[in-house]
């Protein structure tokens, strides 16, 4: 397996989970550090973006290891991607979004590098 591809999948999983958490009232308020309401349109957008990122992560993992082992790898990636988010939402909620944006960029760069080298 390829370290670049694996990192791409992991970055997508983290970004996807962050988007999904942004679609939830409690975490939205935590992240913005004030009583901010989440509009229904934004909620839908966050959810869609999060789901898309998680699906993309699955595709990356499946193309790395095939459908069988790829699924196993994907589930592990989901767990490993969600764990740091839970810690960030607790101890540094303000930075979660920034990091997620960074990982989206990283996922693109890594994905490109992986595609070019692979």
Partner 1 sequence: MKEGFRQSMAWLHTWSGLLTCWVLFLVFVSGTASYFRDEITLWMQPELHAAAGTPVSAARAAETAIGFLEKEAVGAPRWFIYLPNPRNVETTVRWINPAKKNANGRPAIEHAELDPATGERLAAPRQTRGGDFLYRLHYELHYMSRTTGRWIIAFCSMFMLVAIISGIVTHKRIFKDFFTFRPKKGQRSWMDAHNAVAVLALPYHLMITYTGLVTLMFIVMPFGMQSAYQGNQKAFFAEAFPQPAISKPARLSAPITPMAPLVAQAEKHWDGGHVGRIYIDNPGDAKASVNLIRLPRKQVSYVRQSMQFDGSTGALMGTIGDASSAAVEARGVMFGLHVANFANPLLRTLFFISGLMGCVMVATGALLWAVKERQAHAKKIAQTGRAGFGLRLVEGLNIAAIAGLLIAFGSYFWANRLLPVGIEGRAALEIRSFFVAWSVAAVLALMRPRRGMWQCQLTASGLLFALLPILNALTTHTHLGVTLLRSEGPWAVAGFDLFSLGLGLALLYAARKLAHRRLAVRTSPGKKQSTHEPTTLHQTT
Within 33-92, the residues that bind partner 1 by CB under 8 A are 65-66, 68-69, 72-73, 75-80, 82-83, 85-87, 89-90
Kind and range of the H or E run holding 18: helix 3-22
Closest approach of partner 1 to the CB of residue 115, in Å: 19
Number of neighbouring beta carbons within 10 Å of residue 63: 15
Residue 118's alpha-carbon distances to 31, 37, 52, 77, in angstroms, are 37, 44, 23, 20
Binding of partner 1 at residue 108 (CB under 8 A)?
no
Closest approach of partner 1 to the CB of residue 79, in Å: 5
Beta-carbon-side half-sphere exposure of residue 106 (alpha carbons within 13 Å) = 18
* Residues at the site binding partner 1, with contacts judged by CB under 8 A: 1, 3, 6, 17, 21, 24, 26-27, 65-66, 68-69, 72-73, 75-80, 82-83, 85-87, 89-90
């Amino acid at each position: 397996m390829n370290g670049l591809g694996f990192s791409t999948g992991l970055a997508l999983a983290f970004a996807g989970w962050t988007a999904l958490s942004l679609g939830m009232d409690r975490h939205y308020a935590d992240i913005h550090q004030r009583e901010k309401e989440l509009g229904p349109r934004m909620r839908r957008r966050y959810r869609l973006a999060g789901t898309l990122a998680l699906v993309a992560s699955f595709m990356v993992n499946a193309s790395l290891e095939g459908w069988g082992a790829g699924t196993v790898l994907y589930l592990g990636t989901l767990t490993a991607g969600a764990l740091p988010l839970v810690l960030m939402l607790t101890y540094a909620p303000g930075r979660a979004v920034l990091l997620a944006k960074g990982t989206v960029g990283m996922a693109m760069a890594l994905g490109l590098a992986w595609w070019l080298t692979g």
